[in-house]
A and B are shown apart, each in its own frame.
Chain A
């Protein structure tokens, strides 16, 4: 206390006053509206020449690996801007902010993008917690929050947040694909499950249990891990003790590799190994050694850039060329880049299909996608939404690892057709 306090107080006051002097509150949001056929609809962030989007990803902290996704998106938009005159003549400006996978930061960044940057829409927020923390806000402000990068089923089943929509197949749908495979291929399978103790792991495990209910397939052991755990070896040992004949590996990449390696090391236990899509990229399998992951099963919906079967695929060649041109520092083999490319081209299609170049137009467009084909997705996987369907991608195809690559097998499974719509 004493003289120093007053000096500090004065300094703080000065800082605050300086901050307040930065500009008036003005008209809240400063939004603009369209005229003509789309009269009254919001045109904030969009002009005839430009469209401004904002994305929120973890560029720092434990989930930073996902920070590669926006690089693929940026490359796609740069390519479209430079070579196709943008989306319908509108150049895309894509702003990326870091939330470190922390919900309060996500809220702050969402507000910054919407209020300060005046973006047209939030194009992707990554992670269930960050999306759940922001979607009340975006829906109150009537800002589209499209193609969020999380597979929680909530985004599609919820009806009170029309401005928020997912993109990738939800975890429950993926679980259903594995359940059906086991029910037909191994009707008496005893399954051991390793899952990440969060929304992702629990959603997938819950969906799986529901889908096998009443069949001969049984979950005989389940073990969870925290993302802060150094290793999942103890869990793997406990699962091995169950003598299950199927191992369902519901993990994120690092732990996926650890679980695959642990399974390979344990020569006493040789179950059928199913690895979920999040950890099914070749970048996860390669460190384990291809010889150790033969016969592993997974399901996918977009093209893995490291899979040689797409070497001559037109879209993959375009992707590789444009990544080299517009994101020279980024390795096109990283599947997150391809994911970003795929989701960006999905946005491109949705925006083109919008009846009005407005926020309302985008909201309606992403909820009315009719068999839209995106070339980075697997053949047969399309975007499909409707009044009672809030899940753009619901098809997946099973694949098995053989030699040095994934081999697709069976047909593309449309989970909605197979199992009916997801309701909760």
Chain B
């Protein structure tokens, strides 16, 4: 039983990693309605920025603060420079632009920092909290806590601030948002900046575990997609719960279902998602919006 509980805990640890990136995906999707394929790569790039500052001798938290600022600015800049010119184009065109961005950022990171892995310091102490035969590593607890914190902050931002309300209005109907005086372009840029910042947090969180290299987030992205879909793609809480469910399901299936084994375990979250979507097409946490007739 303790073994099972341990697997669940480890699954949640993996799930928290997926949840971090899923939060960023959900953010972008809420504001712009597009799925940003480059989200993981931007997070990876941000992590390299943090690494670069630490390499130059800055302490972890200072480097993190600078990185979050740089990521926020960078995200806004990307919206201005890369996304704005195709604004109003079909959704798919935007998606392909983010695919191009993915390829570009990945290659650029390799060009600048090489494809060799880099060591990234862990902000959380080694060791584990033990209770009833189950050990929870402090890094896992740390990641869960940070992801929970980010989710809470986003919730506050969305629900209890004017900026958040404006962002949701833009997401719901950009034309009407303009009519009530919202600067839609600025809001979209803000959304990209925020998503890039959240992505940077997720990148910095996973880098000590996965080791920093340009393809670090590629594998995480697929799981983050799964997590976001499961959660409904527009709810931060959904993204986090989705991430945890995916992580636990994958871990348990890999450990206990022999037919699945470690090679096919990626299929498990995918099957869960398919089933969830068929039963509840808006995802676990998505609200079915009332369609305009």
State if A and B touch, Cβ cutoff 8 Å: yes
Q: How far is the CB of B92 from chain A (nearest CB, A)?
A: 19
Stretch from B71-79, B184-192, B262-270 at the A interface: B262-270
Q: Which chain A positions have C-beta within 8 A of B219?
A: 228-231
Q: Is A67 an interface residue (CB 8 A)?
A: yes
Q: Contacts A230-B17, A233-B209, A257-B211; is A287 near B262 (CB within 8 Å)?
A: no
Q: Which of A234, A258, A287, A289 is within 8 Å of B250, CB to CB?
A: A234
Q: Are B110 and A286 in contact (CB under 8 A)?
A: no
Q: Which chain A residues border B65 with CB–CB below 8 Å? A: none
User: C-beta contact mask, A243-257 vs B, less than 8 Å → 1, else 0?
Assistant: 000000000011001
Q: Give the nearest-CB partner of A333 in chain B.
A: B116
A253–B222 contact, CB under 8 A?
no
Judge whether B7 and A253 touch: CB under 8 Å: no
Q: Which residues of chain B have C-beta atoms less than 8 A from A233's C-beta?
A: 10, 13-14, 209
User: Is A416's beta carbon under 8 Å from chain B?
Assistant: no
Partner of A234, one of B211, B223, B255: B255
Determine whether the beta carbon of A286 is less than 8 Å from that of B222.
no
Q: Is B213 an interface residue (CB 8 A)?
A: yes
Contact with A along B201-245 (1 / 0, CB 8 A): 000001001110111111110110000000000000000000000
**With the chains together, A289 CA to B126 CA distance in Å?**
13
Contacts of A265 in B (CB 8 A): 126, 137
Task: Tell me the nearest residue of chain A to B254, going by C-beta.
Answer: A234
> What's the minimum C-beta distance from B51 to chain A, rounded to whole angstroms?
11
Residues 49 to 75 of chain A near chain B (Cβ within 8 Å): 60, 62, 64-65, 67-68
Q: Does A269 touch B at the CB level, under 8 Å?
A: no
Query: Contact: B250 with A68, CB < 8 Å?
Result: no
Q: Is B141 an interface residue (CB 8 A)?
A: no
Structural contact, B110 and A224, CB atoms closer than 8 A: no
The bracket for how many chain B residues form the interface is: 35 or more
* Residue numbers in A under 8 Å from B126 (CB-CB): 265
Q: Is the CB of A237 within 8 A of B209?
A: no
Contact indicator A228/B262 (Cβ below 8 Å): no
Nearest chain-B residue to A331 (Cβ)? Answer: B114
**Contact at B110–A284, with CB atoms within 8 Å?**
no
State the CA gap A334–B115 with chains docked (Å): 11
- Chain B contacts of A238 at CB under 8 A? 254-255, 262
Does B118 interact with chain A (Cβ within 8 Å)? yes
The reply to whether A287 and B118 form a contact with Cβ atoms under 8 Å apart is: yes
Main DSSP-derived SS at the A contact region: helix
B218 touches A67 (CB 8 A): no
Chain A's closest residue to B103 (CB) is A60
B117 touches A287 (CB 8 A): yes
| Chain A contact patch, size range | 35 or more
Q: Choose one: A65, A228, A289; the contact of B115 (CB below 8 Å).
A: A65
Q: Are A334 and B116 in contact (CB under 8 A)?
A: yes
Tell me if A225 is interfacial: C-beta within 8 Å of chain B: yes
B residues less than 8 Å from A68 (CB atoms): 114-116
| B36, CB-defined interface residue at 8 Å | no
Q: Is the CB of B263 within 8 A of A226?
A: yes
Which residue from B137, B209, B262 sits with its C-beta under 8 Å from A224? B262
Taking a contact as CB atoms under 8 Å apart, the answer to whether B117 and A62 are in contact is no
Query: Closest residue of chain B to A67, judged by CB?
Result: B115
Closest residue on chain B to residue A222 by CB atoms: B262
- Answer whether A257 and B117 are a contact pair too, CB < 8 Å, given A224-B262, A237-B7, A241-B3: yes
Contacts of A60 in B (CB 8 A): 103, 107
Distance between B137 CB and nearest chain A CB, rounded to angstroms: 7
Q: Check if A231 sits within 8 Å of B218, measured CB to CB.
A: no
Is B197 close to A, CB under 8 A?
no
User: Using Cβ atoms and an 8 Å threshold, which residues of chain A touch B262?
Assistant: 223-225, 234-235, 238
Question: Closest B-chain residue to A254, C-beta based?
Answer: B117
Give chain B residues whose Cβ lies under 8 Å from the Cβ of A225.
262-263
Name which of A228, A231, A258, A331 has the most chain B CB atoms within 10 A of its CB.
Answer: A231
Q: Does A157 contact B (CB under 8 A)?
A: no
Nearest-neighbor residue (CB-CB) of A231 within chain B: B210
| A289: min CB distance to chain B, Å | 8
B251 within 8 A of A: yes
B119 at the interface (CB under 8 A from A): yes
- The answer to whether B211 and A287 touch across the interface, beta carbons within 8 angstroms, is yes
| Chain B hits for A258, CB < 8 A | 209-211
**A102 within 8 A of partner (CB):** no
Which residue of the partner chain B has the closest CB to A228? B219
Asked if A283 is at the interface of the complex by the 8 Å CB criterion, the answer is yes
How distant is A236 from chain B, measured CB to nearest CB, in Å? 10
Chain A residue at minimum C-beta to C-beta distance from B209:
A231
Q: Which of B114, B116, B215, B220 makes the CB contact (< 8 A) with A62?
A: B215
Contact B211 A226, beta carbon cutoff 8 Å: no
Return the 4 tightest CB-CB contacts between A and B, nearest first. Answer: A287-B119, A230-B219, A65-B115, A230-B220
Jot down 8 A-B pairs with beta carbons below 8 A, ordered by A.
A60-B107, A64-B110, A228-B222, A229-B219, A230-B210, A233-B10, A238-B255, A253-B117
13 more contacts with CB within 8 A, not counting A226-B263, A261-B209, are A62-B218, A64-B110, A224-B261, A225-B262, A228-B219, A230-B218, A233-B13, A233-B209, A234-B14, A234-B250, A237-B10, A253-B116, A334-B114
